[in-house]
Amino acid sequence: MVRLAAVGLVHEANTFAPSRVDLVDFAADGILRGPEIVDRHGDADTTMAGFLAAGSAPGVEVVPLVFTTTTPGGPITPDALETLADEILSTLAETGPWDGVLAALHGAAVAEHRDDADGYLLRQVRVAVGPDTVVGAALDLHANLSAAVCAYADIVTTHRTNPHLDARLRAEELAALVVRTARDEIRPSQALVQVPAALGILAQNTGEPPMREILAGLDEVLASPGVLTASVAQGCPYADVPHMGMATLVVTDGDPSAARSWAAALARQVWSRRHEFSGRSARLAEALHRAATARKGPVLLLDVGDNIGAGAPGDSVVIVAAARQVGLTGLLAILVDADGVTRCHRAGTGGRVELLVGARTDPRVGPPLTVGGVVRRLHAGRYEDPGPTHAGHRHYDAGPTAVVEVDGGPTLVLTTRPTPPTSLVQLTCLGLDPTGFRAIVAKGVHAPLAAYAPLATEIIAVDTPGVTSADLRRLSYRRRRYPLWPFEQDVTFG
């Protein structure tokens, strides 16, 4: 019997965000222990669901211990990281010994006192379980892969799709490799190459150039003899840390030289397409004109600068305010505004409200919008979507929610907590038909596409201000490595 522990702490940090992520934030999303992990993830398509599924293989036991995740945001506070790490480590020690550890991480976690929170966690896990226990780490495609992560985990994998529709598959793949290693059937050898380039958010869709062609090269490596797994990490450009950027990783069966060779070849392929790493977005006026003149809706307006899935607060009213000025009708927007939700719940369904909404956190995404309207629906904010969804999530909690029909438009969905717009159930559970609107503002870039692309008549990435700006040169980096494309144009590599 191969006995595996399943643990995890998943957070994508945006070091430009004004917020800090503390224990309250993790607790709001759930610090899950033992059976609670099975209850939340057993029927999902998440990374943890893939780990749990591995326990159905003959001779394999997977024991879920501690798992937590929270919506992307600012860096984690020291107290939160150390408290959660201590619980993971003490639980590992109390319930061991283990043949292997399956760790669900993001790869772009940053704490106020630790630039590489994922590497720190894996180092602590390695110390706790010893050198002979196999450690596998399943990361997000947006991981900023560090040397520490690859040093303390025997096998590392990342997603290969964006939107992330393969989280469970990659986790199952990792678990199978950990089992084979524990049984001495294979001897993983990893090679990491950090590419001196940052991939802009607009160029990260794996179904489009340049990632489509880069992943075609990855498929060739994966099909090569002796290669156990391989990854091309896109990196998280909003985490200002020394290891920020793209990276390639190849794991072979006992052949370190081949691993280094394949990782270097993949890195050269990535580097050869660096001129395509910025992508394109539409100016706000152009986007609104296209939405207004579309023959049919809904047109999906991606609010790039207020991308919740990359750590933005989700309260920008830039698009909504401009749409009101030009008289665009039939607009639906989801805004984070806890105060507005409270006022709506006090007014009750059918009640009239006068609100000052949005732009609570950053003057660049405001000023706040003054609106009057009628409360059409109140909701607890919890909903479930069996998928397919970005990263395989099934259970959501946006906190108390209200639908306000603003005089003369638009329709606003006000939520208490930032929730990435990755599920249409967020609208349908409120009695809203997304096909009934001319345009929908989604505070994301790629994550919304799995849900919204099938019904959108046009998808427009809108160049808006905020902490997830499409133009990385608008952000003030202090800790990134140097030189790094596209900030420096005279970079040499390979």
Neighbour count for residue 386 (Cβ, 10 Å)? 11
Structure tokens at 277: 């790493």
What is the 3-state secondary structure of 96-164? Answer: CCCCEEEEEECCCCCECCECCHHHHHHHHHHHHHCCCCEEEEEECCCCCCCHHHHHHCCEEEECCCCCC
Omega of the bond prior to 386 within 30 degrees of 0, cis? no
pLDDT in tens, 49-62: 999 999 999 999 99
Q: Is 13 exposed, middle or buried (0-12, 13-18, 19+ CB in 10 A)?
A: buried
Residue 28 to residues 163, 179, 382, 397, Cα–Cα distance (Å): 25, 33, 12, 9
Place of tokens 């057993």: 42
Could you tell me which residues are beta bridge partners of residue 60?
A: 2
| pTM score over 0.75 | yes
Q: Tell me, what's the pLDDT at 387?
A: 84
Residues 365, 452 contacting (CB under 8 angstroms): no
Q: With pLDDT > 90 as the criterion, what percentage of the chain qualifies?
A: 97
Residue 485 to residues 196, 279, 468, 493, Cα–Cα distance (Å): 6, 14, 18, 10
Phi first, then psi, for residue 110 (nearest 5°) are -130, 135
The helix (H) or strand (E) run that includes residue 309 is none
Residues 309, 296 contacting (CB under 8 angstroms): no
Q: In 330-378, which residue ranges form alpha helices assigned H by DSSP?
A: 338-347
d(CA 303, CA 469): 9
Q: With pLDDT > 70 as the criterion, what percentage of the chain qualifies?
A: 100
Question: CATH code for 2-276?
Answer: 3.40.50.2300
Written as one letter, the residue type at 251 is: V
Q: Which of 5, 9, 46 is closest to 29 using CA atoms?
A: 9
The helix (H) or strand (E) run that includes residue 439 is strand 439-442
d(CA 147, CA 154): 12
Rounded to 5 degrees, what angle do the CA atoms 7, 37, 337 make?
100
pLDDT in tens, 358-405: 999 888 899 999 999 999 999 999 999 998 999 999 999 999 999 999
Residues 92, 101 contacting (CB under 8 angstroms): yes
Q: Each residue's pLDDT tens digit in the chain (494 positions)?
A: 999 999 999 999 999 998 999 999 999 999 999 999 999 999 999 999 999 999 999 999 999 999 999 999 999 999 999 999 999 999 999 999 999 999 999 999 999 999 999 999 999 999 999 999 999 999 999 999 999 999 999 999 999 999 999 999 999 999 999 999 999 999 999 999 999 999 999 999 999 999 999 999 999 999 999 999 999 999 999 999 999 999 999 999 999 999 999 999 999 999 999 999 999 999 999 999 999 999 999 999 999 999 999 999 999 999 999 999 999 999 999 999 999 999 999 999 999 999 999 999 888 899 999 999 999 999 999 999 998 999 999 999 999 999 999 999 899 999 999 999 999 999 999 999 999 999 999 999 999 999 999 999 999 999 999 999 999 999 999 999 999 999 999 999 98
For the chain, give every domain's residue range: 2-276, 284-469
Structure tokens at 249: 């990783």
Q: Tell me, what's the pLDDT at 494?
A: 80
Residues 134, 184 contacting (CB under 8 angstroms): no
